[in-house]
Amino acid sequence: MREPFHMELDRLGGEVAEMCELVAQALERATHSLIEVDLSLAEQVISDDVEIDARRAECEAHAFQVLALQAPVARDLRVVVSTIYAADKVERMGDLARHVADVARRRHPRPVVPEELLYRFAEMGRLGAQAARELGRVVLNPTTPRSEAMDRADDRTDELERELLAALTSHDCDYDVRTAVDVALLARFYERFSDQAVSVMRRIDFIVTGEQVHGSP
């Protein structure tokens, strides 16, 4: 009976990993739409978010089916419940990518971000997609040694958010209110995207090692 159960766990991990790739692509496209003022790409991210939501629902339904049919206990139970947690967090990452695209679409054809700040958003988009893909790798094989790439990406994203907020609040800032609000919101969306990935990673670490890692996400 344990072999079929572990096959189901592998399937669940694969479903979450696929979601991780979808949200990585969503953030990349949303960032491109923001930087290039690309309306069609922003609209694609927004419409594709429905697929990510559907994947989360399917993953949760599968997890509940495993709980009902296999009645796991102890560590196995934590693994299945954590899959539900992971699917919810990754779906939230998709929502955050959609929020970026929403801002780009709402302001089109006007650029949202001042040109001198664009490189920070480009880097935040790259780091967020990197974190999502690293999470997908770990979800597929939780017992493999994890790299420190996600922690570094999260730290750098936090640093970039602080830099953006400092630029908005400096004494010589001459951005209009709408621009300042948009930039602050966008920075927050990217920061939260990264935090969701770290939150799932810490849950996986706890299941594998039994050690609770404390932190902000």
The tens digit of pLDDT for each residue in 47-93 reads: 999 999 999 999 999 999 998 888 888 888 888 998 999 999 999 99
Asked if residues 100 and 189 have their Cβ atoms less than 8 Å apart, the reply is yes
Local structure of residue 146 (DSSP, 8 states): P
Q: What is the largest CA-CA distance in the chain?
A: 67
The domain limits of the chain are: 2-209
The whole-number pLDDT of residue 147 equals 66
Q: Exposed, middle or buried by CB within 10 Å (0-12, 13-18, 19+), for 90?
A: buried
Q: What angle do CA 46, 57, 216 make, to 5 degrees?
A: 75
Return the closest-CA partner of residue 140 out of 1, 2, 52, 21: 21
The Cα 164–Cα 78 span in angstroms is 39
The Cα 52–Cα 99 span in angstroms is 14
14 pLDDT above the threshold of 50 = yes
The Cα 16–Cα 84 span in angstroms is 9
The whole-number pLDDT of residue 192 equals 98
Asked if residues 168 and 183 have their Cβ atoms less than 8 Å apart, the reply is yes
Q: Which amino acid is at 164?
A: L
Residue range 125-134, pLDDT digits in tens: 999 999 999 9
206 pLDDT above the threshold of 90 = no
- Residue 216: band (very low, low, confident or very high) from pLDDT cuts 50, 70, 90: very low
The whole-number pLDDT of residue 150 equals 84
Asked if residues 116 and 60 have their Cβ atoms less than 8 Å apart, the reply is no
Asked if residues 62 and 157 have their Cβ atoms less than 8 Å apart, the reply is no
CATH 3.40.50.360 fits 2-209, yes or no: no
Residue range 141-198, pLDDT digits in tens: 877 766 678 888 999 999 999 999 999 998 888 999 999 999 999 999 999 999 999 9
Asked if residues 189 and 96 have their Cβ atoms less than 8 Å apart, the reply is yes
